Structure 1
Amino acid sequence: MQLVVDKIAKAFGIHEIFKDVSFMIEKGEHVGLVGVNGSGKTTLLRCLLQPDWVDGGSIKFEPGISVGYVQQGFAEIHGTIWQFMLEACPEITELRQKLAQLEADSAGLQGEALEACLEEYGRVTKRYEFIDGYNFENRIKRVLIGLGYTEEWWQQQAPTLSGGQKTRLMLAAALVRNPDFMILDEPTNHLDIVMTQWLEKYLQEFKGGLLVVSHDRAFLDNVAARILEMEGGRLQSFKGNYSRYLQQKAIQTATLEAAYNAQQDCIARTEAYIRRFKAGIKSKMARGRQSQLDRMERMDAPVRHEEFELRLPPAAECAERVLIMEDLTIGYGEKVLAKGINLTLRRGEKTALLGANGTGKTTLLRTILGEIAPLKGRAKIGNRVQVGYFSQSYERLDPRQTLLENFVIEYGFTEEHTRSMLGGMLFHGDDVFKRIGELSGGQKARLVLLKLVLDGANCLVLDEPTNHLDIMARETVEAALAAFDGTVLLVSHDRYFVNEVADRIWEIDDGQVKDYKGNYEFYLEEKQRLAQAKDEAAAELAKAQEAAQRAGKATAVVQAAVKTADAKPKRFSTEEAAKLLPKVELQIREQEAMMGLLEKQMADPANHADPEHSAAMAAEHTAYENKIAELMEKWEALMEAAEE
């Protein structure tokens, strides 16, 4: 076992986070940790990294193993991206310095001292090879490129990166360390779909143990072989990936609820019996029932998570064409991100806008909304279309205001009505007096979603609406959007979310916006079909080019033969005729023999399956005929000269 956790507990004051948490992770086992926001997942990870922080129980890693973790702070980031990555594995740097020092020392040593030095050099070299030090730079390049840092980024100063870019860099540093055990907390945040798929493949190939916290259901399906669920301060283990966990959890929940309800019914009937007969002739039986009740092991009530309410109002009538783009080019200044966009979003359609980070997804949204001027063409919003915009940066939330102030000022509601609405989004009691700047990303997202409901928009433009939301909250948003009868245009890197909500995909790729009329699964199938067709077309083109090249050579021979045939026959002397006749006759026999072999090939139907190959053989046969005809003319001329 690489990790053994035995009955650990953690509380903050009187607030118990979890207790009696126990689990084990074997070498090479990949485990996903799930639970609603606030259930204690990140606290558990901190306990694993700082075992002395727990209130009770024990945490034991296998002795001598290295543990990798994506840190949450950025204080250690310095230098260029490449320099930072080179320093990501200090042991490799130390071993390289040690090897260089031992090599220098060995030059001035003899006898036993030299042997000891060489022995130490061998031990250091063995460790250096074990941690794959010779391929360290190649590993850095692979990880950086996979996470979107192409070569032109490598000399950029790391401190100048955005928060999301720094998060990706910290993830890259954790991966190149190649630890024996890896702990990852929301590693897909700030990754686009292509990067997420690359990370999935990397982790599938990772041979060490893995514990990952994630709200990305597709990611957990592709990476985890076991799911740990933190719920109500307890931890449960489920075999299989996330989809398998859902099936098991549904069965378990139904079973536990049925058992709990049955026990509660039994308790209620028994207590009623005791109250009725405790003073009568059946008092002895009532006391017996009471003893039985006292001995009963009471089941805990099933955990019921509080869910926020998101019910989008019916969409008001509007034009059939909701968003219109005509010959649209988007970008900034001279930088063009996408051009030639001619698309129309119609009433009731739900479309997902996909593409790698930096391809222009947010720019396209802001251009459609009129926040950025198009470089060319136009983007138009249809008649009677009211747009509700969910931005990643939460511009509609003033960080200096309290929740109560923000909604009362913007909508003019009473305090009582505002409290009621905020309660539906899980903000209770004194929560409404918190400043918005102090809220988590998930709490801010819930506030913006509430404003979309209050706005009554019939077209929703959503830029990463599920960032920072846990899985249960994402499912709530999915259900609300699926039931919404208006129009939706959304940007998301959550593949499961996109597949559940969208019935159309727009993908920004290579400066173009491609249109796929189907959900995410259809989009993947269509992409695969197009890629396969492209590969087949390339193979056919190469085959045709090869056949054309063969046919071209044969044609050249034909043309040369025709040119020679058109030339005036040369007159030979008797001496030349006597000398050349045997050679020409030999050439004729050789050409006839080669033509005979070709005719046997032409007689085989299998050689005519490919039209290009068949044409090439025909051209080659014509060339032989012309060559033989040319040689026969020469032979006749030589015969005339020899007879003179």
Structure 2
Amino acid sequence: MLLLSCSGLSRGYSATPLFEGVEFELHAGDRLGLVGPNGAGKTTLLRVLAGQDSPDSGRVQHHAGARVGLLEQQAHFPPDWSVYQVAQSGLDELIAAQQQFEQVASELAHCTDEDRRRQLSAQYDRLHEWLRHHNAYQLDHQIEAVLSGLGFGPEDYHRPAATLSGGQQRRLLLARLLLAAPDVLLLDEPSNHLDIHMTRWLEEYLVRQAEGMVIVSHDRYFLNRVATRILELHQRRITSYPGNYDQYVRLRQERYERQLKEYEAQQEFIARQEEYIRRVHYGQLARQAQSRAKVLEKLERLEKPVLPGMPRIRFREVPRCGDVVVRAENLGMRYGQRVLFRNLNLELPRGKRLGILGPNGCGKSTLLRILIGEEAPSEGRVEIGHRVVIGYLDQQLAVLNPEQTVLQAVRPADDPDITEQTLRDLLGSFGLSGEVVEQPVGSLSGGERSRAALARLTLQRANLLVLDEPTNHLDIWACDALEEALRAFDGSVIVVSHDRYFLNRVVDMLIVFDHGTTEVVYGNYDLYESLRQSRLSAAAANKEAGGSAPSASRSSRHAGAEGGGMPRSSSSKPRRKRRFPYRKVADIEADIAAAESRLASLEAELQNPDLYRDADRVRTTLQQIEQLKAALTQLYEHWEEAVELNG
């Protein structure tokens, strides 16, 4: 069912539009991930869709009476409301319907007029069905489930909402919106302020909902799990890609390469025509030259395609250190009666990249400071390797003096002779140029400060980079650049991060905090997730068989290449449900072959220079190619399902 559509949307400030000509539709069950560089206008677009801001041109339509809800950025709670009351207010419509249902039932029980009884009976049936459809007979259970998923326990229910921290208030706003369950959910960075457990819960919750959603997020792992389509807002335009984030990256690169070939082919065609016109613009062939000149005048020129800008992050070559960079033995940390971790043993070899992952407040940053000698452990010891030089980037970016200009703050103390132009060139490669580098660090946005701090870090000759949440405030493209730079770095890395996509691409070892335990995993996040799912499946199978569920975690466990290898699939895993109608595998394969053949012929047609004489034909061909690729994606998924379930 169509819930929302927009056409020709344009919005800007001053003379420069943030976006223009935006058009797309949202149907029930669609989960659209909206991505784009910082400052592209994603939040503004959500506000326009919600009706909280007016477009300069174009229109937004809410179809079939669709209710629209936007995740607010700032909380404004009544001062005397508790956490539970705020969450419950998301269900005001259902609660009012319940009260009306009770009134109708009471009146119906005492009504003697036959006509009135029929009216009340019909109203009773409608309300009953509506309440049943929205599961309104278990509202307390719904509230408690959502609050629990977002990190609020029973001890928080009666706490005044106004006394919560900023991050907690943001989570409470999300809880209220999820409980309200509008037909269209507009979520601006919903995983901000969520730890790993809450984020997993939110992902599972959203994929079960029937509402339509538009989700702005820098969390690429989250988009992979939740999004069914990606909208890219770049250079004021929206481009739609089917599938999740990984598929978007692949399709965007293919689209860029195809458009670049089309642009280059057209430029070659134009150059040949202009050379011909220049040579024969007089004499017997002058008429032909004039004819070709008219063709060029009418030709719709293709723009050179541009990918979103990515900072060019490069770390210097670093001096070689000892074979073991950091060694920790029987490490433990406690504050009073609270134990953060204990019995942690670790050896980080030279050249390895270690990630630290866990829920908020579990002790990740504390462990980081202990490993680099900035804080003493309660028990055990840490040994830093021979000739190890540490470069530390903390969450608060304290390496930058907020009173200094960006140029002054980035200049390394051990290299005072570095030229200003070198610093400007370096900052420019991070997207910081012009007047920005003359401004005080304290006046920069979070993303600008993060990029300035990373620029400063690249000037140090540290062979051990220690990074605490380095992707905070960075957009997707800056994260990509940082990941590539760390993968190419000659030294070692220790990084605390909640960004699972980042950890997957960068680290080859993990320390995972989970329910008061620590586990060393010799692999990336995907390996850890496989191990975790395997344990959960084994525990569930054991429980169904009547046995006692094995512990999902043990203190200081070791897993991965040196602790049991990859998990094996459980034979008791249930067969998944069908997404597509039953079809024979051979029939689907025939459709795939036909679609691939048609796609190949269309892509071959793009190599024909004559195609570019007709702009409409170019546009139609490109649309057909996009449609075929989307159809093939579904056919491949249908084929995989048929191979697994037919039989």
**TM interval, short-chain normalised:** 0.7 to 0.9
- Correspondence for 1:357 among 347, 357, 360: 360
- Bigger mean CA offset, 129-138 vs 329-338: 129-138
Match of 2:512 among 495, 507, 515: 507
Partner Cα separation in structure 2 for residue 95 and residue 394 of structure 1: 51
Q: Secondary structure at the match of 2:65?
A: coil
RMSD after superposition: 3.0
Q: Give 1:462's aligned residue.
A: 467
Q: Tell me what 1:567 maps to.
A: none
Q: Which residue of 2 aligns with 1:417?
A: 422
The AA in structure 2 aligned to 1:90 is: D
Q: What displacement does 1:58 show?
A: 1.2
Who is 2:184 aligned against?
Answer: 181
Query: Structure 2: which amino acid aligns with 1:394?
Result: L
Q: Distance in 2 between matches of 1:142 and 1:480?
A: 41
SS of 2:90's equivalent?
coil
Report whether the alignment pairs 1:232 with 2:235: yes
- Once residues 183 and 395 of structure 1 are traced to their aligned partners in structure 2, the CA distance between those partners, rounded to angstroms, is 34
Distance in structure 1 (CA, Å) of the matches to 2:388 and 2:162: 43
What secondary structure does 2:205 align onto? helix
Q: Is the aligned partner of 1:47 residue 2:43? A: no
More deviation, 31-40/449-458: 31-40
Matches within 5 A, 1:629-644: none
C-alpha deviation, 1:529, in angstroms = 4.4
Which residue number corresponds to residue 7 of structure 1?
Answer: 8
Conserved 8 A contact 1:191-1:493: no
SS at structure 1 position matched to 2:28: coil
* Residues 384 and 264 (structure 1), Cα distance of their counterparts in 2 relative to 1, 3 Å cut: same
Which residue among 300, 303, 308 is the counterpart of 2:306?
303
Does the 8 Å contact 1:51/1:58 carry over to 2? no
2:481 to 472, 476, 483: 476
Decide whether aligned partners of structure 1 residues 198 and 534 sit closer, same or farther in structure 2, where only a CA change above 3 A counts.
closer
- Is the alpha carbon distance of 1:212 and 1:521 closer, same or farther for their aligned partners in structure 2, counting shifts above 3 Å? same
Name the CA shift for 1:435/1:97 in 2 (closer, same or farther; >3 Å): farther
- Report Cα offsets for 1:550-571 as digits up to 9, x if no partner: xxxxxxxxxxxxxxxxxxxxxx
How far is 1:54 from its partner? 0.5
Cα distance in 1 for residues equivalent to 2:335 and 2:68: 43
Cα distance, 1:367–1:77 mapped onto 2, change above 3 Å? farther
The answer to whether 1:75 aligns with 2:76 is: yes
1:233-248 equivalences in 2 (<5 Å):
233-248=236-251
1:58 matched residue in structure 2: 59
2:36 maps to 35
SS at match of 1:89: helix
Paired with 1:355 and 1:313, the residues of 2 have a C-alpha distance of: 31
Shift of 1:41: 1.9
- Residue 608 (structure 1) aligns with: none
2:55 maps to amino acid: V
Structure-2 residue corresponding to 1:637: none
- Are the equivalent residues in 2 in contact too, given 1:367–1:373 (CA < 8 A)? yes
- 475-484 or 187-196, which moves further after superposition? 187-196
2:450 to 429, 440, 445: 445
Aligned with 2:86 (options 74, 84, 87): 84
Task: Tell me by how many angstroms 1:534 deviates.
Answer: 6.2
Does 2:500 correspond to 1:495? Answer: yes
Is the Cα contact below 8 Å between 1:331 and 1:363 reproduced in 2? no
How far did residue 409 of structure 1 move?
8.5
Q: Structure 1 unaligned runs (5+)?
A: 544-644
Question: Aligned pair in 2 of structure 1 residues 161, 437: CA closer, same or farther (>3 Å)?
Answer: farther
Amino acid at match of 2:401: D
State whether residues 46 and 70 of structure 2, in contact with CA within 8 Å, keep that contact through their aligned partners in structure 1. no
How has the CA–CA distance of structure 1 residues 289 and 338 changed in structure 2, closer, same or farther, with 3 Å as cutoff? same
Shift of 1:107: 10
Aligned to 2:338: 335
- Matching residue within 288, 292, 312 for 1:289: 292
Tell me what 2:598 maps to.
none
**How many percent identity over aligned positions?**
39
Whether the 8 Å CA contact 1:147–1:168 is kept in 2: the answer is yes
1:405–1:94 distance in 2 versus 1, CA, 3 Å:
farther
Q: Deviations over 1:179-215 (max 9, x none)?
A: 2121111212222332222111111110111111222
SS in 1 for 2:249: helix
Instruction: Output the CA distance in 1 between the equivalents of 2:54 and 2:333.
Output: 52
For 1:262, the equivalent position in structure 2 comes to 265
Letter in 1 for 2:392: Y
Greater Cα shift, 53-62 or 276-285: 276-285
Are 2:142 and 2:179, in contact at CA under 8 Å, matched by a contact in 1? Answer: yes
d(CA) in 1 for partners of 2:7, 2:323: 61
The one-letter code matched in structure 2 to 1:155 is H
How far off its partner does 1:309 sit?
Answer: 1.5
CA distance in 1, matches of 2:419, 2:29: 57
* CA displacement 1:95-137 (0-9 Å, x = unmatched): 4565677789899998699868887677666554444332222
**Partner residue of 1:161?**
164
SS at match of 2:493: strand
Deviation at 1:453, TM superposition (A): 0.7
- Residues 502 and 132 of structure 1, relative CA distance in 2, 3 Å threshold: same
SS of residue in 2 equivalent to 1:28: coil
Name the aligned partner's letter for residue 478 of structure 1. E
Structure 2 vs 1, CA of residues 299 and 140 (structure 1 numbering), >3 Å: closer, same or farther? same
Cα offset, 1:5, TM superposition: 0.8
Indicate the SS of the match to 2:288: helix
Equivalent positions of 1:605-620 (< 5 A) are none
Farther off after superposition, 527-536 or 50-59: 527-536
Question: Residue type matched to 2:288 in 1?
Answer: M
The secondary structure found in structure 2 opposite 1:142 is helix
Q: Aligned to 1:519, which of 486, 505, 524?
A: 524
Check conservation: 1:341, 1:512, Cα contact below 8 A: no
Please point out which of 151, 155, 160 is paired with 1:148: 151
Distance 2:75 2:17 in 1: 30
Code of the aligned partner of 1:521 = D
8 Å Cα contact 2:6/2:59 also seen in 1: yes
Query: Structure 2: which amino acid aligns with 1:463?
Result: D
Aligned AA (2:84): W
Instruction: Measure the CA separation in 1 of the matches of 2:153 and 2:181.
Output: 21
Q: Which amino acid aligns with 1:339?
A: R
In structure 1, what residue type is equivalent to 2:390?
V
In 2 relative to 1, CA 328–61 (structure 1 residues): closer, same or farther, beyond 3 Å?
same
Counterpart position of 1:348? 351
1:379/1:27 CA distance change after superposition, 3 Å: same
Q: Does structure 1 residue 379 correspond to structure 2 residue 357? A: no
> Do the aligned partners of residues 536 and 319 (structure 1) sit closer, same or farther apart at CA in structure 2, a change above 3 Å counting?
farther
- Give, as a single letter, the amino acid of the residue that structure 2 aligns with 1:205: R
**Structure 2: which amino acid aligns with 1:437?**
G
Pick the structure with greater CA Rg. Answer: 1
Q: What per-residue deviation string (whole Å, max 9, x for no partner) do you get for residues 18-73 of structure 1?
A: 22111111112222222222322222112111276111111101242222221111
Q: Which amino acid aligns with 1:83?
A: Q
Q: Once the two structures are superposed, what CA deviation does each residue of 1:232-270 show, in whole Å capped at 9, x if it has no partner?
A: 221122222222222322222111100101111222222
Inter-partner Cα distance in structure 1 for 2:536 and 2:122:
55
Q: CA deviation at 1:362?
A: 1.5
Rounded Cα–Cα distance in structure 2 between residues aligned with 1:32 and 1:63:
23
Read off the aligned partner of 2:240 and give its amino acid letter. S
Distance 1:71 1:237, change over 3 A: same
Instruction: Return the letter of the residue paired with 1:252.
Output: R
Deviation at 1:459, TM superposition (A): 0.9
Deviations 1:343-400 (A, max 9, x none): 2222111111122222211121122234433222233323322222222222223344
Distance 2:164 2:126 in 1: 40
Opposite residue 39 of structure 2, the aligned amino acid is G
Using the TM superposition, give the Cα deviation of residue 307 of structure 1 relative to its aligned residue in structure 2, in angstroms.
2.0
Distance 1:170 1:426 in 2: 34
More helix by share: 1
